[in-house]
Structure formats: C-alpha cells, structure tokens
C-alpha cells in the first residue's frame, strides 16, 4: 500500500469538490479493475459516467481523484461499495488525509486538539496560523497566495462537513459502529481511529475487538 504523502501541495484546490463523493461513486465500477489508470484516461475523453460537459473540468477531476485512490488499501472498494453514504464519506476523508499533507496537518495539529479542548468549534484563524507556521518551515507553503490559503481552509472545512465532523461551526464525532474501523486496523492504519475523534477507551475496545477477530 502506498505510504501517506509527505509533500506539500495546494493542487487539490484546483477542483470544485471536497471529497468527490458523487464523482467517485460514478467511477466506482472501474476503480477496482487492473486497468483503472487507462480507464480513467478514457473517461477524461469520453465522459461515459461522470457526465461533466467540460473536458478541462473532467481532466481536473480525474487528476484529483487519481491522486487519492492510490491510497486505498486492499479490499477498500469492496467495503466502500457495501457501506452507507455516511461511511463512504468517512472513507473518502481517509483518502484525503493520505493524499494532502496540509489536510493531515490541519486535522491532527488543529482540529483534534480543538475536539479534545473546551471549545470544539471550527476557527478559521487557527488554520491560518498553522499555514503561517508551515510557511516558516517550507518555502513552497510560504509562496502560497492569500487566495490559495483561503481556498485550502475552505475546502478542508467542506471536507469536515461532508465526512460528518462538523455541524455548522461545531465539531462533532462521526459516530460509527466499531466494526467499521476493523479494516483500518487490519491494514495497519490505526491513526485513522484517532482522526475520527475516538477516545482512548474507544480505541482500546475496538483494538480488543480486532484482536478477537484474528
């Protein structure tokens, strides 16, 4: 399985979507095939399932989706296909965390501490401050324009809403059945359980459930 991306990029802001739930569901029949890459290239030209009139937009969508689906672990799409819409959205958020380094940093450095704190609200200023900190360390981040930085925060916030982490400005836990998390443990992705605002007691219970299933 591909390791989580560690390169900072704002390329995910070039599209209009956040998790691309509708688009990925349209492409689902080809995502688990051996020739997925070639079939996605064909979709860019032929527009068989996306039903997006502009080829430029389709090309951008395919590029964004391709950058994420490579982080799907074995069996990911089979599980995804039989999951609820809410579970699917959370699985797509997992792919986004893997593919966009700044999104991962936002989530673990700002959002999770906010959830564990007293406010449990989304404060855009804190994410702006995080980008300033990253800009001090990474030249590529320092070069991002104010417009790009605004768009990064905007898309991340939309991701949180689509994945069930945000109700208006309030952070909430996207409650899921314990069994939902077992494939992530099986594929050595325990960090995603923390990403879903699970408490230590939750982590221990689900880890024990996974151990008993072996």
* 183, part of any domain: yes
Judge contact between 61 and 107, C-beta under 8 A.
no
Looking at the 3D structure of the chain, how many domains does it have? 2
Exposed / middle / buried, residue 70 (Cβ in 10 Å: 0-12, 13-18, 19+): middle
Segments forming the whole domain that contains residue 183: 178-213
User: Residue 22: which H helix or E strand, with range?
Assistant: helix 21-31
CB contact set of 48 (below 8 Å; sequence gap of 6+): 42
What are the residue ranges in the chain where pLDDT is below 70? Answer: 1-2, 15-16
Is position 112 within any domain? no
Query: 196 lies in a domain?
Result: yes
Contact indicator for 210, 192 with CB cutoff of 8 Å = no
The helix/strand/coil state of 167 is: strand
**Does residue 7 belong to any structural domain of this protein?**
no
> Where among 74, 90, 121 does a domain terminate?
74
Q: What is the pLDDT of residues 147-194, one digit of tens each?
A: 999 999 999 999 999 999 999 999 999 988 999 999 999 999 999 999
> 85-99 and 55-69 helices cross at what angle (nearest 10)?
80
Domain-terminating residue out of 39, 59, 74: 74
The whole-model pTM stands at: 0.94
Domain final residue pick, 54, 74, 94: 74
């Amino acid at each position: 399985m591909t390791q989580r991306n560690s390169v900072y990029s704002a390329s995910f802001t070039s599209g209009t979507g956040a998790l691309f739930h509708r688009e990925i569901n349209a492409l689902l029949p080809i995502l688990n095939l051996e020739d997925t890459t070639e079939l996605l290239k064909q979709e860019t030209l032929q527009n068989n399932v996306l039903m997006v009139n502009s080829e430029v937009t389709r090309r951008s969508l395919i590029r964004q989706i391709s950058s994420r689906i490579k982080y799907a672990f074995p069996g990911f799409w089979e599980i995804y296909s039989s999951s609820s819409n809410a579970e699917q959205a959370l699985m797509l958020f997992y792919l986004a965390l893997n593919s966009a380094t700044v999104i991962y940093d936002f989530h673990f450095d700002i959002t999770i501490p906010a959830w564990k704190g007293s406010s449990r609200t989304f404060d855009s200023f804190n994410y702006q401050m995080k980008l300033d900190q990253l800009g001090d360390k990474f030249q590529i981040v320092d070069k991002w324009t104010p417009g790009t930085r605004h768009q990064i925060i905007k898309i991340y916030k939309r991701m949180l809403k689509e994945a069930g982490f945000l109700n208006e400005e309030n952070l909430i836990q996207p409650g899921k059945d314990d069994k939902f998390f077992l494939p992530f443990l099986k594929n050595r992705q325990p960090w995603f359980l923390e990403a879903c605002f699970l408490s230590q007691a939750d982590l221990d219970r689900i880890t024990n459930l996974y151990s008993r299933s072996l």
